Every structure is written in structure tokens, then in C-alpha cells.
Amino acid sequence: MDLTNATIRSTRPAFQSNAREINRSVILWAWIQRLGLAFFIVLLCRLLVVDTLIVQGNSMQPSLHPDETMLLFKAAYWFSEPQRGDVVICRYPDMPDNFVKRIIALPGERVSIKNHTLYINDVPVDEPYIKEEMATSMPEVIVPRDSYFVMGDNRNDSKDSRDHRVGPLPKKMLLAKVVAISWPLPEWRAVPRHAPKDIASH
């Protein structure tokens, strides 16, 4: 009897079993790494790129309603300029809260309100998206460089750039662009950018 061959044959099954165990461990570790990377990417996107926020108050009716969840694109203005009609999350001077408003006028433009109508650069602006006509007037304001004039769509129940304590907002105070309503599901919709096209630049 060849004892050497018998020893080799007897150890081969154990070797194959160990190899399978190592292979399973390698596959498991690869999956753990992939899941960890995916989680990191999602977390990074959540922190830097996208976010959600619940609408509070009535200042953006009828476009947005209380308790709806907004989907935000936080990187919208990293490499591009805000556009007229964008709905944005913004911060006001010396106030800790965030607000949701619509960009109405751009840097260098002249804004006024008379006879219940918005004027930009002396051009009357048709605004079918607002809740009702404005009850108050506003003398002409020139939007400073790198700043934006914002207002709520519910003009008679909105604290915005018309208030001297707020005024036009520097770009750095525009924190995110509202791109959609994500909750409740039956109300899911994109948030449109309403912007008249016949306003001449300053």
C-alpha cells in the first residue's frame, strides 16, 4: 500500500473546503465594500447635493402648500447663476430660519409695484401663478450686484424682499433650488420655473 498517495488523497478534501471558505470570505468582503461605498455616496449626496424640506406657512400658495415635502437640489448654483422664476430655499439677514420664495428680479434690474402690478425695468409682468393681486405698492428698487429679489407667490401673506429688513438677497443666501414635491405621493410634481421672457435686461 502506498501511504504517501493515501495521505495526499486524504488531505485534498480539506484543502478544497478551505479554498471554498476563503472564496466566500473574499466575495462577502467585496460586497461589504460595495455596500459601504454606496452608503457613503448616498450620504455625501444627501449632505452636499440633494435634500428635503417640509413647507411651513402659506407664503408660496398656490404653488406650494403647507406640510408638502420639497425635493431640493443644493448644488444648483455651484456652477451656474440663479434664474428668474426659480423657487429657492433662502436665508434672510440676521434670521436663523430658512424660507422658500421665488426669484423675481436679477442683479441690476429695477423692480417696482404699482396699481397691483409688478414692474421690472418699467415692463409690467404678467404673473398668473400668484394667489391674488398685490394689495400694496412699492417704490422702485434697484437690485444690487450679485443679489436677487425674491417674493412669495402668496404676495399678501409673504415676508420677502419687499420688506426693508430683508431686501434683495446676495447669492450666498440662496441655499438650494426646489425641483419637486416628493410627498405626499399623490401630490408628486415638478416645481416649474415661471419666468416672463419679454423683460429686457437692464
Asked if residues 25 and 39 have their Cβ atoms less than 8 Å apart, the reply is no
Smallest Cα–Cα separation from 74: which of 49, 101, 52, 98?
Answer: 49
Phi and psi at 20, nearest 5°, equal -65, -40
Phi and psi at 44, nearest 5°, equal -65, -45
Coil, strand, or helix at residue 150? strand
Catalytic (active-site) positions: 59, 101
Total residue length of the chain:
202
Q: How far apart are CA 176 and CA 72, in angstroms?
A: 6
